[in-house]
Amino acid sequence: MSEMPKFAMSHVGIVVKDLPRMERFYADVLGFKVTDRGVARGQPMVFLSREAHEHHQIVLQEKRLSDETTINQISFRVANLDDLRRIHRRLKDAEVKEINLVDHCLAWSVYCHDPEGNRLEFFVDGPYYVHQPIVEPLALERSDEEIRRATETRFVGDPSFATFDAWKSDFGRKLQGG
């Protein structure tokens, strides 16, 4: 079998029931901009992005027939805890329901659902690693240093505890066959 070439995640397509409502959420609440819209295979579509180098990061296509979603989650990385706090405030201001704050040790996250029940995660990488999955409460009202200390204190006794940088380095070696 030939070696798999490198590839990167580019965008996600979501099948929706109410295209205008979903477009408003992703544009007005999350700040995506519409780059294109049209019809494919008889179904209306909207392309959205937050990056100039990406024509689309989200594609919404109106053809969902049931209320059930098949998406586990769509995750968005942010640069720092202040950005995570700003997103949390924005979601609260938009009266988004079921907002959950989670300490995963390797990331600090804000979870919510879009208007059709698809789970969204906004996260910032944390400084530590422990074997996953970890779902502990996050007190986002604390200072950055208090959050870091709380995470370290909570997980330092775990045998898998390491810095996230050390874990990434080790995993990089594994990816290279080492």
- The region that residue 161 occupies, defined by phi over 0 for left and psi between -120 and 50 for alpha, beta otherwise, is beta
Q: Pick the more confident residue, 178 or 54.
A: 54
Residue 48 pLDDT: 93
| Whole-number percent of the chain with pLDDT over 70 | 95
The DSSP string of 105-139 is SSEEEEEEE-TTS-EEEEEEE-SEE-SSP--EE--
66-99 burial string, b = 16+ CB within 10 Å, else e? Answer: eeebeeeeeeeebeebeebbebbeebeeeebeee
**pLDDT tens digits for range 50-59:** 998 899 999 9
Model confidence at 70, pLDDT cuts 50, 70, 90, reads confident
Over residues 160-170, the pLDDT tens digits come to 999 999 999 99
Region 73-85: mean pLDDT is 94
pLDDT at 174 over 90: no
Delineate the domains of the chain, giving CATH numbers in brackets: 11-63 (3.10.180.10), 71-178 (3.30.720.110)
* Per-residue confidence band for 68, with pLDDT thresholds at 50, 70 and 90: confident
**Is a pLDDT exceeding 60 seen at residue 5?**
no
Question: b/e string for 15-36 if b means 16 or more Cβ within 10 A?
Answer: bbeebeebbebbeebbebeebe
Residue 44, preceding bond cis, omega within 30 degrees? no
Q: What is the mean pLDDT of residues 116-139?
A: 94
At 106 the pLDDT is 93
pLDDT level of residue 1 (50, 70, 90 thresholds): low
Question: In the structure, what pLDDT confidence band is assigned to residue 39 with cuts at 50, 70 and 90?
Answer: very high
pLDDT exceeds cutoff 80 at 6: no
